[in-house]
A = this chain, B = another copy of it.
Amino acid sequence: MLNQATGYAATALGFLATAGDKPVLVKDIAEASGIPSPYLAKIINALARKGLLVTQRGIGGGVVLARSGDSITLHDLAMALDDTSILPRCMLGTAECSDERACPAHEFWTGMRGRYLDFLKRTTITDVAAFETRRRAGHTAPHSRGDTMLGTLLPISPPRP
């Protein structure tokens, strides 16, 4: 699982992506996303230093995406925040575990990790934003991208009477 910080970042940036180009206050992002505001401030600061966000102090300031949501993946966030969950680790915690000196779960775990990283690299902030927008709209809005796991997430529910 992703660290809490990376999950927060994904949610916050998904919200930011729906806000257009105008700066949003950290406090507002925190409230809208249900994230502790001081903690989110640290996360946003870290992402700004990594060049994923642009922050602006003073009146009219706030936070904006540094580039298109399409070009920011969950994997980018995880790397920027030093998320330990994307590092290769042995599932059993064996000190020496590699392809040559495998633990009993090595092949299984390598496969799992591959799927996990693939999902992180394939899923963008735009995907997250689209999912949340769809959800807020009551699951009725169509979606244009069907090539990610996100596109298959919502149950196909009949139109409400």
Q: Name A's B-contacting residues (CB within 8 A).
A: 1-4, 6-8, 10-11, 14, 34, 74, 89-95, 102-109, 112, 115-116, 119, 123, 127-128, 131-132, 135, 149-150, 152-154
In the bound complex, what is the Cα–Cα distance between A150 and B106 (angstroms)? 9
B108 touching A119, Cβ below 8 Å: yes
Please give, as numbers and ranges, the residues of chain B lying within 8 Å of A105 by CB-CB distance: 74, 119, 123, 149-150
Quick one: copies of this chain in the complex?
2
Q: Which residues of B contact A8 (CB under 8 A)?
A: 93
| Docked-complex contact B152 and A7, CB < 8 angstroms | no
Give the shortest distance, in Å, between A34 (CB) and chain B (any CB). 6
- Let me know if B149 and A127 touch, CB within 8 A: no
